[in-house]
Amino acid sequence: MAARYPLLIIVIVVLIAGGIFLTDRWVTRSTQSQLYSDTATIPVNKVGLLLGTSKYLGRGKLNPYYQYRIDAAVLLYKSRKILYILVSGDNATEHYNEPEQMKKDLIARGIPPERIFTDYAGFRTLDSILRCKLVFDEDRVTVISQPFHNERALFIANRNGISAIGFNAQDVTGENGLKVAVREKLARIKMLIDLFLNTQPKYYGPRIIII
């Protein structure tokens, strides 16, 4: 009887690993036709949804994911492939404000302030995507982030009646990139659970029209 327990554990581990692998492949393959890395081929959309992240890593080191997303948003706007940038990120505390920091850096790069809108309740990718439609009244959007993040964001959009494409910011390699890649596999499982449970954003609030 006791001999069955190791076998059961192995079966459970294989099933979990298989589920993670298949979910990852499903998300990636189902969104590939919506991803762009070249401004010459990407269609024009009114709004670019820039997904937030922290500017700095530990010890004040600049976060490359942040920098590359800013670069991508600026490139897309200056190529006239978007008219407005909606910056969506975490503003959980008085001293941590992703959207405001990104807005400042976009302005410093030449984006007119009146062309930037901020979503301070984009605590998760799910929140950012759903609030884009339900709060900012935009159901056609260009998502701006790294490829792996765009894939997950587009998967959410596709299942919520949002016509979205993704513009890929430069990805990050090395140890930092590997850690994020591992976390992303688990984030996709969590995303499926949220979609199954019809999880809603933490906050909604009054409608804001981007004009």
Evaluate whether residue 99 is within a structural domain: yes
Is residue 6 in some structural domain?
no
Please state, as a whole number, how many other Cβ atoms lie within 10 Å of the Cβ of residue 36: 18
Domain count, the chain: 1
- Per-residue pLDDT, averaged over 114-140, amounts to 97
Asked whether residue 67 is domain-assigned, the answer is yes
- Is the pLDDT at 206 greater than 70, yes or no? yes
Confidence class for position 17, pLDDT limits 50, 70, 90? confident
pLDDT at site 58: 80
Domain coverage including residue 36: 31-196
**H-run or E-run covering 194:** helix 174-196
* pLDDT the model gives residue 3: 57
Contact assessment for residue 119 and residue 88, using Cβ atoms and an 8 Å cutoff:
yes
Spatial neighbors of 151 by CB under 8 A, at least 6 apart, are: 27, 28, 31, 35, 166
Please tell me the distance from the alpha carbon of residue 166 to that of residue 30, in angstroms, as a whole number. Answer: 13
* 25 assigned to some structural domain: no
Domain assignment of residue 139, yes or no = yes
Reduced to 3 states (helix: H, G, I; strand: E, B; else coil), residue 32 is helix
pLDDT per position as a tens digit, 81-112: 999 999 999 987 777 899 999 999 999 999 99
Quick check: is 131 in a domain? yes
Burial 118-133 (b: 16+ CB within 10 A, else e): bbbbbbbbbbbbbbbb
**Does some domain include residue 201?**
no
Structure tokens at 130: 């759903």
Determine, yes or no, domain membership for 5. Answer: no
Residue owning tokens 């950012």: 128
pLDDT score at 59: 81
Which tens digits make up the pLDDT trace of 138-166? 999 999 999 999 999 999 999 999 999 99
CATH value at residue 43: 3.40.50
Whole-number pLDDT of residue 67: 97
